[in-house]
Amino acid sequence: MRATIIHAPGDIRVENVPAPKITASTDAIVRTVAACVCGSDLWSYRGVLPVAEPQPIGHEYVGIVEEVGSDVSTVRPGQFVIGSFVASDNTCPICRTGYQTSCRHAQWVNGAQAEYVRIPLADGTLVAVPEQPAEDLIPSLLALSDVMGTGWYAARAAEVKPGSTAVVVGDGAVGLCGVIAARELGAERIIAMSRHASRQKLALEFGATDIVTERGEEGVARVKELTNGIGADSVLECVGTQESLHQALQSSRPGGNVGFVGFPHGSQIEGQELFFSHVGLRGGPAPVRAYLPDLIDRVIGGRINPGKVFDLTLPLDEAAEGYKAMAERRAVKTLLRP
């Protein structure tokens, strides 16, 4: 089969490799219908994370179940499925609390930018769509596999409630999906922090009511101006830098909540700053699996269209260009079709 392999930073190749096989009775093999490049894939592409040897890459996918192990009972060959980027049993005590990415048997999915992908713990990880979806729904269903689920978690972690005010820090695919989530959870005012015209436009389309282009202290001052001088009830931090985390904490009102889903890059929180802020803080890798059934319904029912974050679609064989376009910020997010 054809599969995307990262050989070294900046060196992405699509090659012929053996197709994956069932290795445990709880596995499924999924024929990939669409996959995509994640912002986190760019860490190894940019050399922020080391690439010791050539390795398969990709963890966001939708596809058709090709084969299941003998212990798989909730999905069957022929079904169109979506799964999280972390495989989970969905039955352990942690999964039952809704934190499937911390499952006791969690396994990170990899190798999804390929014609086939092996999904461990298929019963707990994959959710079947009721019927074969229309072609135009595929990007939005694919987005649920990571970015939309992560934006949803950011809004939940920041405790967005009906009538509340939310700030979204970050205008990448996750931040834009965070705007959708804040709107769906009933935020009355949604302030998107963005300096890019095309992303501002999409944020407004997704439900943002205000755009703040300033950053740092100026950005915080602008948010305060828009929120009666006190800051927002909920802040979704979707970047992961020191500056963005600080901006998120400062943009929250006393007693507000920050949901942080941007992977932290050396960011630190000072104890007294957090103590005196009265801000609640929750983050981590999003338990996407918990939200899949609800989000699938919202996509199929036409309530949300997170697939609009994909602004570049390429055949799988052109994955290298998909990475390059994202690394050079010519694309927000690349969709790959095997």
Closest approach of Cβ 134 to Zn ion, in Å?
33
105 or 161, CB closer to Zn ion? 105
22 or 92, CB closer to Zn ion? 92
Bridge partners for 82 per DSSP: 62, 127
Work out the burial of residue 207: count CB atoms within 10 Å of its CB; fewer than 13 is exposed, 13-18 middle, 19 or more buried: middle
123 or 214, CB closer to Zn ion? 123
Closest approach of Cβ 37 to Zn ion, in Å?
28
Closest approach of Cβ 19 to Zn ion, in Å?
28
DSSP codes joined into one string, 257-326: EEEE-SPPSS----HHHHHHHT-EEEESS--HHHHHHHHHHHHHTTS--GGGG--EEEEGGGHHHHHHHH
Closest approach of Cβ 91 to Zn ion, in Å?
6
CA 121 to chain CA centroid, Å, is: 20
- x/- map, 50-89, Zn ion, by CB under 5 A: --------------------------------------xx
The secondary structure of residue 111, as a DSSP letter, is -
Bridge partners for 12 per DSSP: 6
40 or 102, CB closer to Zn ion? 102
Nearest Cα residue to 235 out of 274, 261, 264, 200: 261
74 or 241, CB closer to Zn ion? 74
Positions 271 through 300 that interact with Zn ion (CB under 5 A): none
- x/- map, 103-132, Zn ion, by CB under 5 A: x-----------------------------
CA angle 297–300–303, rounded 5-degree value: 80
Is residue 92 part of the contact set for Zn ion (CB under 5 A)? Answer: yes
CA–CA separation, 237 vs 242, rounded Å? 11
Q: Which stretch binds Zn ion (CB under 5 A): 14-22, 60-68, 99-107, 248-256?
A: 99-107
89 or 146, CB closer to Zn ion? 89
107 or 267, CB closer to Zn ion? 107
Instruction: Give φ, ψ of 231 to 5 degrees.
Output: 100, 175
Is residue 24 part of the contact set for Zn ion (CB under 5 A)? Answer: no
Q: Which of 68, 75, 95, 169 binds Zn ion (CB under 5 A)?
A: 95
Closest approach of Cβ 54 to Zn ion, in Å?
31
Closest approach of Cβ 177 to Zn ion, in Å?
24
Q: Which long-range contacts does 210-216 make (Cβ < 8 Å, 24+ apart)?
A: 212/167, 215/243, 215/247, 216/243, 216/247
Closest approach of Cβ 105 to Zn ion, in Å?
6
The secondary structure of residue 234, as a DSSP letter, is E
Closest approach of Cβ 123 to Zn ion, in Å?
11
93 or 229, CB closer to Zn ion? 93
Helix axes 173-184, 197-206, angle to 10 degrees: 20
Please report, as a single letter, which amino acid is at residue 118. Answer: R
- Number of residues this chain uses to bind Zn ion (CB under 5 A): 5
Instruction: Give φ, ψ of 88 to 5 degrees.
Output: -145, 155
Q: Which residues bind Zn ion (CB under 5 A)?
A: 88-89, 92, 95, 103
